[in-house]
Amino acid sequence: EAQVTQNPRYLITVTGKKLTVTCSQNMNHEYMSWYRQDPGLGLRQIYYSMNVEVTDKGDVPEGYKVSRKEKRNFPLILESPSPNQTSLYFCASNFPGDTQYFGPGTRLTVL
């Protein structure tokens, strides 16, 4: 089954404790993206990657890191999480110019 998976689905952590949210796709998509969704602000792109070892900042990259060492994986790293990073996070992947397929979302709470 073609899908985008994210782990964990839910996470409660404390300020400053490094965390990684994994994202994996099995559709051989070149493009992968991370978004955060906050009430009233819609989906905002954090980082995106057009292929292995190619990553670019989206609209809200501050406080986040990503890496793309393999085509299928695109982890999101929060080196020192803060409460303003409490949000719902989505990973997505797509072929260039085509529609995006979204993962199930990760709800992160930073205390």
Residues that bind other proteins (CB under 8 A): 33, 35, 40-45, 48, 50, 56, 58-59, 90, 92, 97-105
Nearest approach in angstroms of CB 17 to other proteins is: 27
Nearest approach in angstroms of CB 65 to other proteins is: 18
Query: Which 3-state string (H, E, C) describes the chain?
Result: CCCEEEECCEEEECCCCCEEEEEEECCCCCEEEEEEEECCCEEEEEEEEEECCEEEECCCCCCCEECCCCCCECCEEECCCCHHHCEEEEEEEECCCCCCEECCCEEEEEC
Q: Which residue's CB is nearer to other proteins, number 28 or number 80?
A: 28
Nearest approach in angstroms of CB 104 to other proteins is: 6
